[in-house]
Amino acid sequence: MNFPPWMQRAIQARLDEVTARIEHDPELSRVRGETDEAFEALFAGKNIEQTSEYAEWENRYIVSKGIENERLYMQGLRDGIQLTASLLGQSMLVEKWHESD
């Protein structure tokens, strides 16, 4: 199914808006800061994969990506539900209008 260009632009604009909002989320910024600190400590070790700093960085990285993905998913779900409800509402109005003719 191909969406018309105006709808593709609207979807892209919404994705950009949601991504920007998530990028500035205080909780995610805190988690990213902790991840960055753990990553810096990681390079102080010699054998990176076998250090506790690597495990700490990896855990924090996984948590931060999980939060980001969860928020993107939930916002996409909410947007999809709103779009579906709106389209169904418009469809019902058109059907009622045709029935009254």
How does 33-53 read in b/e, with b if 16+ C-beta sit within 10 Å? ebbeebbeebeeeeeeeebeb
The runs of H, that is alpha helices, within the chain are 5-23, 26-42, 52-100
Higher pLDDT residue, 97 or 30? 30
pTM: 0.49
Q: What 3-state DSSP class applies to 67? A: helix
Question: What percent of the chain has a predicted confidence (pLDDT) above 70?
Answer: 79
Please state the φ and ψ torsions of residue 44, each to the nearest 5 degrees.
Answer: -75, -20
26: its two tokens: 């205080």
Question: What percent of the chain has a predicted confidence (pLDDT) above 90?
Answer: 2
